[in-house]
Structure formats: structure tokens, C-alpha cells
Amino acid sequence: MTRCFISGSMAVAEAAQLAGVQVIAAYPITPQTGIVEALARKVATGLLGAEMIPVESEHSALSAVVGASLAGARAFTATSSQGLALMHEVLPYASGLRLPIVMAVANRSLASPVTIFNDHQDSLPERDSGWIQVYVENAQEAFDYLLIAYRVAEDAQVLLPFMVCLDGFSVSHTYEPVDIPAVELVNTFLPPFRANYPHLDLAEPKVFNVMAFPEHFEEFQRDKHESNRKVLGLLNEVYDHFARVFGRRRQNLEAYRVEDAELVLVGMGSMMGTVRGVVDDLRARGQKVGMVRMVCFRPLPVQEIQAVLQGAGAIGVLDRDVSFGAGGILYQDIARSMYNSQGKRVPAVNFIAGLGGRDVNPATIQKCFYRLASVASSGYITSAEELQWPDENEALLRAWGVGDKHGN
């Protein structure tokens, strides 16, 4: 085990190398470039004996990785934002072919207007593509989940592609101490690759991506769904093994100081480190607050969500994304999870913040908790209170006439 001072991008590249990826195809996009550059250096200097395909687009990046995985190789790609949007068509193709591809997504919002900065607007809308999705908090977690991703994706009862999402800049570009294990240790957790799924084999020729008519198509979809659901249990087994090998335990979600918490804030990604700090501050002042950090988002760990939130007096969901005309994407899933929970129904409020790289600072989080407290005291919420923008710039909203008539 070596402790290195590296960025999240470099941590991902280290993990890809230790996973022994055989084919890498990627197209550069900020803030993902650091991952691809680090891997290109490893291949160019012989540290990593992989084929690197410098494709001409992200659509081709994922397509090339699909081809490589079909041909029986452990394959990797990484992207961000517009690049992931361009891959959109290939995502369900890859999961339908049941290929254990792993992709790192350095989260960045989507144009227009143009931004290179972080939120979860790129990967969350891809939640329905059949891919497994996790959202990490820091570089170490990015490293760990890349290894976990291959292990789970390649499991015979899963065989689905896996997306490891790390916040652009705040994780991808931030240098942190990261423990990098020796390859021998990694091999005991993630054995060298053997294609254990239908692939391009001359000895046993098969046809891939056949036409399915209405009498069969639903069962293909159902199979993808059932396999995806199995990931939750498998992940917990894999976390045990990971902990035995590396001494750290990962989890589908992190519940922090929720045991007696009246107000709980739920969210994902690097901003949850700030939430943890605010929880400590407010606790020090005697306020019963807690935090749930979602890591595994697809499949959605409904029972685990219910277990950690059922004692709360009010739930706030902090979304770094927006489903326009509906509200936060994570909120929809948390609210849905609690609707059929055995406990009593409690008010839930959706906070949207941190879009396009806007800093989510302690004041933002405090505001969320205060508003949650006022909602909790009344015991119910109005539809106007359900969705809130804690960091809204009222002067700008007024000056720009946000939501007003735009045309002539």
C-alpha cells in the first residue's frame, strides 16, 4: 500500500491500470481529460499494456469499448457532460448486450448556456439506461469504486455496465492523499479478466443485437431490470470482501448522525463533505440533524433509504440537478422510496443548489436545515414550499426577469 498525493482523475487512472484494462477508448472533454491523459502516459511508457484508441467522438468512444468488450477484453472509457449526452444512444445498447464496461464520468452540467463546471445534470438523466451508477465523494472513493465496478459488472449474475461518477473539478482536479494498493493485492480482489459472457468467439459463433418482437422484448427488459436489482445485495458482499482485502468498507449509502435526527438532508457527491461539517456544527449547538449521502443511485437502494430515513421528522433532498418542470431527480426517488415506507409519512422538501459549479457552502446547507426545521414544525408543506432554491440570487432573478415573458 502506497499513499500518494494525486488528483481524482489520477486516482481513476491508477485504478484502471491496476484493474488491468486491456482496451481504452476515449475522447477528450473538460473535466475528464486528466483521466485520459494519465492513461495515455501509462500506455505510452509501457506501464500499462493496453490498446488505446484515440477515437473521433464520444459516441465512438463508447462504441469502440462495446466492440472491445464484445471481443472479450476488459474495457474502459471516461467522459463528461456533452460527451455523455453524445453517448446516450450507445448506453442502453451496451447494457442490452450485457457488457461489463466501466466508465468514469467527471460530472459537469450540460449546455446551453455553456458551462464546464460541475453538477449532476449529465449523468442523472442517464439513470434509465440500464447502467449501474455510483456517485463518489473524493479521490479515494473514486479509486475504490473503479475496482468495485469491474468486480460487480463482471459478476455472472449481473453482467451490466457500470458508471462511476465523480464531481468535475472538486474531485477530478483536487489533489488528495490516496492509498494505492499493490497489484498483487488488487488481483486477490479483482482477478485478471476472463470473458464469462457471450462474446465474439469463432468456435461458438453467435449473432449480437438481434431483433426482438413484442412477444419477447419485454422479457429482455425485465431481465436487465432483475439483474440490476441484484446488484444491491452483491455490492454489500463485495464491500465485505473489499474491506477484508484493503481495510476500508464502502457502502451503498452513508448515514451520518441520523439515529436520533429530526432533520435529515440527503444528497450525493463531493458537496456532502460540507454537509457533514455543517451537521457537526449544528449538533454541537444541540440541534438534532443528520445526513444521508447516497452513493449507489442505480440500482436504487430503496430499503436502505427507508431504514435510515424512517425516524426523521422531516427530510430534505439536496439536488445538484433539475428535471425541468418537475424538480430534483434525486428528490423524486427519495420521495418515492418513503411513500410506501412502514413508518409515518413525514414532510419532504427538495432543495436545488450547486448548478453549473455554483459553490455549495456551509451557509447554503444551514439555510436548508433552517427551512427544513420550519416545515417540520408545521408538520406539512404546501406545494410552494416543496421545491426551494436556497442559493437563489434574488437581485439577478429580478433583473433578468427569470420566468417572465421572453419573446415579443
**Under the rule (CB under 8 A), what is the footprint of another protein?**
22-23, 25, 49-51, 53-57, 59-61, 63-73, 75, 89-90, 93, 200-202, 205-211
Q: Could you tell me the smallest distance in angstroms from the CB atom of residue 115 to another protein?
A: 25
Cα 249 to the chain's mean position, in Å?
18
> Do the beta carbons of residue 105 and residue 143 sit within 8 Å?
no
Q: Could you tell me the smallest distance in angstroms from the CB atom of residue 71 to another protein?
A: 4
291 vs 263: CA distance, rounded Å: 8
Of residues 57 and 196, the one with the C-beta less far from another protein: 57
Of residues 61 and 186, the one with the C-beta less far from another protein: 61
**Residue 182 burial by CB count (10 A; 0-12/13-18/19+): exposed, middle or buried?**
exposed
Of residues 67 and 311, the one with the C-beta less far from another protein: 67
CA angle 83, 85, 87 (to 5 degrees): 75
Of residues 29 and 271, the one with the C-beta less far from another protein: 29
Q: Could you tell me the smallest distance in angstroms from the CB atom of residue 124 to another protein?
A: 23
Of residues 91 and 178, the one with the C-beta less far from another protein: 91
160 vs 150: CA distance, rounded Å: 10
Q: Could you tell me the smallest distance in angstroms from the CB atom of residue 26 to another protein?
A: 12
Beta bridge partners of 338: none
Of residues 204 and 394, the one with the C-beta less far from another protein: 204
> Do the beta carbons of residue 253 and residue 323 sit within 8 Å?
no
Q: Could you tell me the smallest distance in angstroms from the CB atom of residue 129 to another protein?
A: 14
Q: Name the amino acid, one letter, at 383.
A: S
Beta bridge partners of 105: 79, 165
Of residues 77 and 123, the one with the C-beta less far from another protein: 77
Q: Name the amino acid, one letter, at 389.
A: W
Of residues 72 and 356, the one with the C-beta less far from another protein: 72
Provide DSSP, 307-366. HHHTT-SEEEEEESS-BTTTB-HHHHHHHHHHHT-SS----EEEEE--GGG----HHHHH
- How large is the greatest C-alpha to C-alpha distance in the chain, in angstroms? 69
145 vs 141: CA distance, rounded Å: 6
At 158, list the grid cell: 449481473
327: left (phi over 0), alpha (psi -120 to 50) or beta: left
> Do the beta carbons of residue 4 and residue 178 sit within 8 Å?
yes
Q: Could you tell me the smallest distance in angstroms from the CB atom of residue 123 to another protein?
A: 21
Q: Could you tell me the smallest distance in angstroms from the CB atom of residue 198 to another protein?
A: 10
At 246, list the grid cell: 484493503
Q: Could you tell me the smallest distance in angstroms from the CB atom of residue 75 to another protein?
A: 7
Exposure b/e, 205-238, CB count within 10 A at least 16 = b:
eeeeeeeeeeeeeeeeeeebeebbeebbeebbeb
Of residues 201 and 223, the one with the C-beta less far from another protein: 201
3-state DSSP call for residue 403?
coil
> Do the beta carbons of residue 299 and residue 228 sit within 8 Å?
yes
Of residues 65 and 294, the one with the C-beta less far from another protein: 65
Name residues whose C-beta falls within 8 Å of residue 26's C-beta, 6 or more positions apart in sequence. 32, 35, 36, 39, 54, 55, 61, 77, 78, 79
Of residues 57 and 303, the one with the C-beta less far from another protein: 57
